[in-house]
Each structure stands twice: as C-alpha cells, then as structure tokens.
Amino acid sequence: MDARIDSKEQSINRKLDEISKSSTKTEATLAVLEPFIHDLVRHEMDKRAVLSKQEFQLTLPQLNSTLKVAKQENVRVPAKLIQGLQQKLSGTDRNAAEYWPTVATFISYRSDLLSRQHSLNMPRCVDSKPTGMTINKVISPDEMTVNRGVYENCSLTLDSPEENERLNKILATERPLIALRHCLIRYHGGEVKLILAWKNRIVHYRVDAPPARSGEVSISGPSLLFEDCLFDFSVDGIPHPSGQKVTETLLAQNANTLELPRH
C-alpha cells in the first residue's frame, strides 16, 4: 500500500512540475484541466501543511512547484491554509535545499491573493517624482506630523542598482518619506541598497500658508511605506543577505501594506 501511495505522489509531483514549466496551453485544454489542477494543488498544499518539520523541509522543491502552479492558474485557497504554510516556512532551516526559492514563490503567490491589482505592465516609479510631502499638523516648533510623498501605480525593483541609486537620491535630497501605493514590487535575489530608514535625519521645511515659517526637524523611522502593493519575488539559490532580510520580513507579515527592515 505504501509503495503504491509513494508512486502516486511521485506521479502527481511530476505532473505539477510539468505544469509549472509549461508556457503554452490552448484555452480548450485549460478549460478541461482547470478543475483537476485546482483540486490537485489544494490537495498538495493541504498535505504539506500538516507534515512534520523534517518532512516539510525535504519536500520544499515539490512545494515550490505546487506554489508556481497555484499562482499561474490563479488557484484560491483558504486563508487558514496560507497561514499554516507561512508558519511552516518560518520554522524551516534557512539552509534547507530550495528554502529561499520556495519562500520567494510563496510570497508572490500570497501577495497575488491579497492584492487588489494585478497589472504587471507599469511604468517605473523612479522615472518620475513622487507627489510632494505635506505638513499634517504642527505640534511644536520642533515637532510635527507629515504626509508622505506618494508613488502610485508604478513598479520598483528592489535589487536594481540603477533604481536604488535614483530612489535614494530622491529620498536624500527631496522626499525623505515616501509611500508606494498600489505598486508592483519586484525582487530577483540581488543586493538591496535602498535607504530603508532614517535615524535623526535633519531636514529643512517651509510653510507658505500664513503664518509663514521655516525651520529644521529631525526624522527617524522607515523611509518607505508599501501600501497595498503586489510583491513579485523570484529567487534562484541563496539571495544576498540584504535580500534575505527583506524576504524574511515579508514572509512574517501576512499583508500587502508594510515597512521594510533597516539594514
């Protein structure tokens, strides 16, 4: 009996892997296969979520293939199942084979489930300027609350050296606090050189409305806020340590609105 079950599971895993790698299917074939694929994917996820820690680690490559199919075929699963897989991955040895690629695929799939926008064709955020920051409330001459500058409906690649350099320049010289709203956030495993937080950063401000005034304030805290963004992560092998920190932060937060960690 066990031998027959193992053989069946191996056949299922091969089929899932074939599906995840296939890029050309006719609409007719998809229509026929869709219910089977969705049931198969849900079954595989359910099975992985209840494995022991050791068994779970050994089957990470199969889970990665299953998650790729789930994202590709827009398979919807209960939130409880997603939370179960999140907990399993959080407790998995970071040195386990296929750990980082599987976590990246999981982040992308979960984000796809949570996001209200799914466009992958967006202009780059850094090719334009965010909206200006505004003062929300002046508490004292040395303390105030502000509204962040905003990027909306654009894309940012976290490990793009060019985009990192251009966004860092905007943060350092024009908009020290930026919110990325309804944006596509990509990551491919490289180094993340973005300014993610300020500590006692002195910035100048000016208020033109009466009574007009200007001065300096100190800013501390996250420089970037991601609001209802779609995270598209794809990693082969082990990502750069800075990217590992970002990836672990996203894995721990079951939301598409978040702040990234400080270096």
DSSP assignment of 117-132:
-------BGGGSPPPP
Residue 240, burial from CB neighbour count under 10 angstroms (0-12, 13-18, 19+): middle
CA distances (Å), origin 176, targets 40, 42, 67, 128, 146: 47, 44, 37, 16, 11
Q: The whole model's pTM is what?
A: 0.82
Angle at 226 between CA 171 and CA 63, to 5 degrees: 130
In this predicted structure, the answer to whether residue 107 has a pLDDT above a threshold of 70 is yes
Q: What confidence score (pLDDT) does residue 7 get?
A: 58
- Return the structure tokens found at 49: 């979520």
Domain-wise residue ranges, the chain: 2-99, 125-259
Kindly state the average pLDDT of the residues 91-108: 95
Measure the CA–CA gap between 34 and 206, rounded to whole angstroms: 58
Q: What is the mean pLDDT of the chain?
A: 85
Percent of the chain at pLDDT > 70 equals 80
Q: What confidence score (pLDDT) does residue 263 get?
A: 46
The confidence band for 37, taking pLDDT boundaries of 50, 70 and 90, is: confident
Residues contacting 84, CB < 8 A, separation 6+: 49, 50
The confidence band for 36, taking pLDDT boundaries of 50, 70 and 90, is: confident
- Return the structure tokens found at 123: 């202009």
Q: What confidence score (pLDDT) does residue 257 get?
A: 80
